[in-house]
Structure 1
Amino acid sequence: MQHIVCAQCGATNRLPDGRNALAGKCGSCGQPLFGDGPAEVTGQNLNRQIKRSSLPILVDVWAPWCGPCRIMGPQFEAAAKQAQPEMRFLKLNSDQNQEFSSRIGIRGIPTMILFDKGMEVGRVSGAMSSADILAWARAQFPA
């Protein structure tokens, strides 16, 4: 049984193993559990995702004024389209979530943080291609 947290309303949804998560809808708000790309979250919503989700969560911490962030944005979206629902891809605007960004130790952007089972398992800063994003994220889970 998978636990997938809705990026829209924050409700935790239980999804039986083997069921197509890409077609799943939230039992509370009716929105798709996975959109076409990464979902934008707040610090509070991200915290809920980290604590309740059974999926690994890859977060892109970015800002609208950041040139490398704007370059990496489409690459992160392309990686999300390839890897969801294997892992959840989320975006956190550091300007709108300054206190939370500080609390999780963001020193530069773009920064990607990978969480699994409520724990940080990896962190990398700097713009990357979609292939490099996927390779880095998958390398955090050695076979």
Structure 2
Amino acid sequence: MTDLLHVVCPHCDARNRLPAARLREAPKCGRCQKALFTGAPLALDQARFDKHLAGGDLPLIVDFWAEWCGPCRAMAPIFARAAAELEPRARFIKVDVDANPALQQRYRIQGIPALMCFVGGKAAAQQAGLSDPGVFRQWVDRFAPATT
């Protein structure tokens, strides 16, 4: 029996269902026909974040950041590199806390960058400050569904 996963499209936010074994086969969205994985972090506002949080089965690794924050800017290329290496086992998301204060409050973000991993709609792991890609790899290895 094939394990089916729900994956939210990074372009149109449609919920797609596909076998876990096909994640690495460059799947496309059933609605918009664009790639379900881009190998880059996805910038989301609160409404889109909530769709991805509620509609997908992949872990969401989220960087809560702000443009004016020096450590956030230093974290950006590390986060982008992790997204390129670890997708499609997880979805990498960036949330600008200045543009989305309700999300900042919801998750009690007091310092940025704040990194969180969400699984099943709930926070499963978090870390404050700069991080190395090893943290993201550990989260993906721990929380991502099996793809074989």
TM-score normalized by structure 1?
0.89
- Deviation track 1:19-40 (CA, whole Å, cap 9, x = no partner) reads 1446112122222111131111
- Deviation track 1:5-53 (CA, whole Å, cap 9, x = no partner) reads 0122211011123114461121222221111311111111111111111
* Structure 2 stretches lacking a partner, 5+ long: 144-148
Q: Give the match for residue 146 of structure 2.
A: none
Matched, 1:59 2:62: yes
Q: Give the match for residue 73 of structure 1.
A: 76
CA contact (8 A) 2:39 2:85 kept: no
AA aligned opposite 1:55: L
CA contact (8 A) 2:15 2:55 kept: yes
Matched, 1:85 2:97: no
Q: Give the match for residue 123 of structure 1.
A: 126
Runs of 4+ in 1 over 3 A off after TM superposition: 138-141
What is the distance in 2 between the residues matched to 1:62 and 1:22? 31
Q: Give the match for residue 106 of structure 2.
A: 103
Report the RMSD for the aligned CA atoms in angstroms: 1.7
CA contact (8 A) 1:25 1:31 kept: yes
CA contact (8 A) 2:114 2:127 kept: yes
Quote the offset at 1:92 in angstroms: 0.7
Between the aligned residues of both structures, percent identity stands at 36
Cα pair distance change 1:39/1:101, threshold 3 Å: same
- Deviation track 1:35-78 (CA, whole Å, cap 9, x = no partner) reads 13111111111111111111111011111110000001000111
Aligned residues: 140
Q: Give the match for residue 8 of structure 2.
A: 5
What is the distance in 2 between the residues matched to 1:22 and 1:41? 25
